[in-house]
Amino acid sequence: MPVTSAPGSPSLTLEALTALRWRIALSLTVAMMVVYFGFILLVAFDKPLLGRLIVPGLSVGVLLGALVIVAAWVLTWVYVRWANNHYDAHLRGLRR
Amino acid sequence: MIGTGEPNVVAIGFFLAFIALSLGITVWASRRTRTLDHFYTAGRSVTALQNGLALAGDFMSAASFLGIAGLVALSGFDGLIYSVGWLVGWPVVMFLIAEPLRNLGRYTFADVVAARLRQAPVRVASAIGSLAVIAFYLIAQMVGAGNLIRLLFGLPYEVAVLIVGVVMLAYVLFGGMTATTWVQIVKAVLLLGGATVLALLVLAKFSFNPLALFAEAARQYGDGVLSPGRLVSDPVDAISLGLALMLGTAGLPHILMRFYTVPDSRTARSSVGYATAFIGFFYLLTFVLGFGAMVNIGRDAITKVDPGGNMAAPLLAAAVGGTPFFGFISAVAFATILAVVAGLALSGAATLSHDLWVNVVRKGHSNSGEELIVARIATVALAIVSIALGILFKGQNVAYMVGLAFAIAASANFPVLVLSMFWSRLTTAGAQASTIVGTVSALVLIYLSPAIQIDVLKHAEAWFPLRNPGIVTIPLSFAVAMVVSWLRPVPEEARAFHALERRIHLGTE
């Protein structure tokens, strides 16, 4: 299948796009798991560290807990950016 | 005294106003619910922001609002572990599930699993997994509703369960997905708005600095409230619970069904983005609400009203906003339960009608008019069953039932859903075995766990050491699917994978 694409619009075969999306989805999933289970493992194995106060009212544990939520937001945002800017462009290429 | 079962006029007023508004929505929606597509998917016309709010509304149950605020109020940092755990499943839904699901299915997630496999065996297995999740989730919500309404409004437990069942039936039966979606949107806005105002009222006393609030909590109850306590004593159990929370979200039938209400996969993607933002914001608020209740109400006063701490947020509302605000927050808590129950009932009706009746009993030879009638009969049956279960399980500890629902969702539904979309060699027998083994192993191991054997049955020891079976049952379910598929490969099912891959990306076009 010859593919002629508009300038600046990338085009990949379906197989390549499948592999790319799968790789990105899997890496982001693994990143989320590392962040979350890293937090849980610290809770389980290094309670003194998490209890240490950075400033009055803010312990390392509370900060890291809030950062896990922020990390979930950031990873989601990264995916949406990639999908809106790149993935959708490849799909347009495939539909043509 | 607030929260001791005395009828509260303001709370009942707000509650009746919500019921009136939501039934008004239902009447409006019923005029647009003529076809099967409208009943199951609101005509696929929901926008990304609307679906994001509705997803958040479906997910933020009374357990997360009242339960986590109470847990933080009573045990400080340990409660935050739950706040974090309930959110991290959403990025997984985004990366792996939302878009392919929207492109491959029509009404239920079994549509996706059955897309290139034999219909009947896959549908029966998926229905067992779905209905098990829905049943335990429904029981938890109904029992929670009964207890909550007794505390908030002074109504008898059975009356409260009956009201929830009947109102939910009205939403789903007449208004279908359109009414359910709008009830969830209204509830999500009320819950996010109410929780934000409550958090601001608390923070106003601390010049809007959360750290000053946390420091005051540490001054009153010791620095221990900001550091890990006894909740995570066993790392394996903590990981197991974490896995179930993270992967279970991506296997909840009522959440998955919401992706069919949007017009395309791009909208599905955006809607998860909104949902993740709203739900994360809400769980950050629970940090403030929990510590606010700890400081303003005090642990002893909270446990005196309800030993589980579930009344922490309403009590906090009364303390910082007076009786009217208490009434408002109580009504929001009730609205929360109604919306979640409606979403569960609708996905249960879709499973019974679309998966079992149409694709198994009638072998696909059914028209959409008949399917709509069966779905409505199924809705009535589910309402009766959920009222009966709510009354039957009165007084049961509901926390483990929510855990059970997530464990089954993660073990029975998630593995087969992911494998069906990403692994070409999955066979009908593999999918079927995986779902059945996932459901049964989760049920059996929870029965043998300390949560049932020691806490409920009062035995000295449990057969299975972990409170949550996820770390065993999720890998087991994946392994069973792969081994069974490897042992008896079905080349024609594997060949159909290429067409499926195209649809994953491009939809049906």
Residues of chain A in contact with residue B269, where contact means CB-CB under 8 angstroms, are 80, 83-84
Q: How far, in Å, CA of B297 to CA of B300, rounded? A: 8
State mean pLDDT over B363-373.
89
Read off the pLDDT band of A2 (50, 70, 90): very low
Domains and their CATH numbers in chain B = 9-22+49-506 (1.20.1730.10)
* Higher per-residue confidence, B383 vs B82: B383
Q: How far, in Å, CA of B407 to CA of A4, rounded? A: 48
pLDDT above 80 (res A19): yes
Read off the pLDDT band of B39 (50, 70, 90): very high
Q: How far, in Å, CA of B494 to CA of B509, rounded? A: 22
Q: How far, in Å, CA of B60 to CA of B343, rounded? A: 12
Cα B417 to chain centroid, rounded: 18
Q: Which residue has the tokens 């400080």?
A: B76
Give residue-wise pLDDT tens across range B185-195. Answer: 999 999 999 99
Nearest to A62 among B85, B94, B214 (CB): B214
Give residue-wise pLDDT tens across range B442-500. Answer: 999 988 988 788 877 888 888 898 888 999 999 999 999 999 999 999 999 999 998 89
Whether B272 and A76 lie within 8 Å, measured CB to CB: yes
Whether B505 and A39 lie within 8 Å, measured CB to CB: no
Residue B150's pLDDT is: 79
Residue of B nearest to A27 (CA): B95
Give residue-wise pLDDT tens across range A34-47. Answer: 999 999 989 888 88
Contact between B38 and B187 under an 8 Å Cβ cutoff? The reply is: no
Residue B387's pLDDT is: 94
Query: Which region among B105-114, B165-174, B376-385, B396-405 has the lowest average model confidence (pLDDT)?
Result: B396-405
Residues of chain A in contact with residue B272, where contact means CB-CB under 8 angstroms, are 76
Residues of chain A in contact with residue B99, where contact means CB-CB under 8 angstroms, are 83
Q: Please give the helix or strand (H or E) that residue A2 lies within, else none.
A: none
Read off the pLDDT band of A5 (50, 70, 90): very low
Tell me which residue of B198, B228, B194 sits closest to B213, measured CA to CA: B198
pLDDT above 60 (res B2): no
Alpha helices for B205-221 (secondary structure H): 210-221
Residues of chain B in contact with residue A91, where contact means CB-CB under 8 angstroms, are 505-506
Averaged pLDDT of chain B? 90
Contact between B472 and B413 under an 8 Å Cβ cutoff? The reply is: no
Residue B146's pLDDT is: 84
Where are the extended beta strands (E) located within B345-463? Answer: none
Averaged pLDDT of chain A? 87
Whether B96 and A68 lie within 8 Å, measured CB to CB: no
* Higher per-residue confidence, B266 vs B15: B266
Contact between B254 and B163 under an 8 Å Cβ cutoff? The reply is: no
Give residue-wise pLDDT tens across range B57-90. Answer: 999 887 778 888 988 999 899 888 888 988 999 9
pLDDT above 70 (res A4): no
Contact between B199 and B207 under an 8 Å Cβ cutoff? The reply is: no
Query: Which region among B116-125, B267-276, B371-380, B397-406 has the lowest average model confidence (pLDDT)?
Result: B397-406
**ipTM (interface predicted TM):** 0.91
Residue B229's pLDDT is: 80
Read off the pLDDT band of A7 (50, 70, 90): very low
